[in-house]
Amino acid sequence: MNEARLAQARAWMRQDPDHETRDELAGLITRAASGEEQAVAELDDRFGSRLAFGTAGLRGELGAGSNRMNRVLVAQAAAGFASYLREKAHGGTPTVVIGYDGRRNSRVFATDSAELFAGAGLRAILLPRLLPTPVLAFAVRHLGADAGVMVTASHNPPNDNGYKVYLGGADHGSQIVAPADAEIAALIERVAEAGDISALPRSTDYETAGEDVVDAYVAATAQVAPAPDAASGLRWVYTAMHGVGWETLSRILKAAGYPQPAVVDEQLSPDATFRTVAFPNPEEPGAMDLSFARARRARADFILANDPDADRLAVAIPDEAAEGGWRRLTGNEVGLLLGARAARAAEGTPGASLACSLVSSPGLAAVAAHHGLDFHETLTGFKWISRAPGIVFGFEEALGYLVNPGTVRDKDGISAAVAILGLAAEARERGVTLADLLTELGDTYGHFASGQVSVRVQDLSVIGNVMLSLRSLPPAQFGRHAIASAEDLLQAAPGQPSGDVLRYRLVDGSRVIVRPSGTEPKLKVYLDAKADSAEGARATIAELEAGVRALLEERS
């Protein structure tokens, strides 16, 4: 066993204030010191690298070590971020708001951060209880704060947690982007190199925000789509996916005038084990099965589902062709419904724009053009979408929607739910359904379809090898669909989105985009097609999916 690694682990254990991770690490050290190969490998995994702080902040598995989420790592992050805020304040007293969701250790990490921010001389404001991520993003602007921290891992597996960072002021409560991420990471590294976190100053002299902050979010979000008279007849189902969305959403429904839904009781309250789902993400197979069953019993018109921190929204509608009679709409379908809604409202407004990530449906550009609005295509992530000039609506195909940029500059699954309720109520007034609205979209803007191939890996090097293979030996076609041009966004022109992304434009006008996931061990491939009919577009997607899967199997 590497004695230096053992010494590193022992030093970490001595400064760890959490008895659970301390005991866990003590046992691992004992087994590794005795030569147990599995323990040696585990120790190398935990201490051979450091959980990287990037534009999504921190996110990873809970446990002891520098490559895990734990109280030592969070303390180092909080102290480093405090140094960054003090440097940017030029002598003033920065204000930072801290929120947390219902995951394991979320409240502990949030309280540690509040104490460390206060100890560093910042004005620290802890939100009053576990709340959705959009409430934290709202609070940064509402309180005029310089920054915000949300402790959440969103829809990641149960044993993950994370640390998402926002900036106020000129950033309007958006998530951090370069160069702030690198500057903060360097200061965190400096704290880590200094050693024992117990030497960091702490103070319990932080503030706890009052209910007025939540009240203000409720009032602002209720105004996204006040209920028309026809809303009283809506029959719908809601699930919080074991997260924190329900309490806030139910208050907004009352304020906006919508009927309460039939709920999935088993998933309504926060539960850090996410016991009824294999993976707490509405996109994952099986995650909405309980919702579908509840909707069948309630004879509902549609289903709305938030992810655990309620920054994403899934929508499902009855579909006789689907297994179980229900189909979850894709993020692109919901994005185009909400985008058209925003475009109609903004038509004629100088400088107003729609925005989406480069992997989301090109249909949003068609919507913007139809209504005479500007359009911006950005890198993936709402840190980029939220910064689009003149934005009135933005979305990402991974169930993220920004419908209320005047108050929240981030994806917000609760305000998106209110906007969908507004659309459903307006459709009901006309005697049509959400499915009919999708048909109308195709008739007005063109028939777009999308799909996705997602490959989860145990070894991250597999993803790097596939991307290298695609760059070294470019494919000529996907199935029978020939490639007209290929772009490597690592070599993007100045002013264009750049990143580890390969984009292929096909002869028939379709599009294929390949990129590693930024938050999960996945390689993701995005498929988009446009045709004269919805059936034609869907058929093209099916063919592209088969071609992509065959190619990835060959290159893996």
Instruction: Give the alpha-carbon dihedral of 36, 40, 42, 46, to 10 degrees.
Output: 150
What's the CA gap between 388 and 230, in Å, rounded?
Answer: 35
Report DSSP letters for 397-425, one per residue.
Answer: TTTEEE--TTT--S--HHHHHHHHHHHHH
What's the CA gap between 167 and 457, in Å, rounded?
Answer: 33
In our burial notation (b when 16+ CB lie closer than 10 A, e otherwise), range 243-278 reads: bbbbbbbbbbbebbbbbebbbbeebbebbbebebbe
What's the CA gap between 464 and 391, in Å, rounded?
Answer: 34
Look at the block and give the residue holding tokens 């065959």. 550
What's the CA gap between 236 and 213, in Å, rounded?
Answer: 28
Q: Which two tokens stand for residue 111?
A: 């309280």
Q: How far is CA 494 from the centre of its chain?
A: 27
| Residues paired with 504 in a beta bridge | 486, 512
Q: Which two tokens stand for residue 443?
A: 């008739």
Q: What positions carry a catalytic annotation? A: 154
Radius of gyration of the chain (CA): 24
Cβ neighbours around 476 below 10 Å, total: 8
Q: Which two tokens stand for residue 358?
A: 């480069």
> Which is nearest to 100 in space by CA: 88, 90, 108?
108
Report DSSP letters for 82-109, one per residue.
Answer: HHHHHHHHTTS--EEEEEE-SSTTHHHH
What's the CA gap between 8 and 138, in Å, rounded?
Answer: 40
What's the CA gap between 357 and 312, in Å, rounded?
Answer: 15
Check: CB of residue 374 under 8 Å from CB of residue 367.
no
> Which is nearest to 413 in space by CA: 207, 555, 248, 288?
248
Beta pairing class for 511-516 and 326-328: unpaired
DSSP-derived 3-state class of residue 393: strand
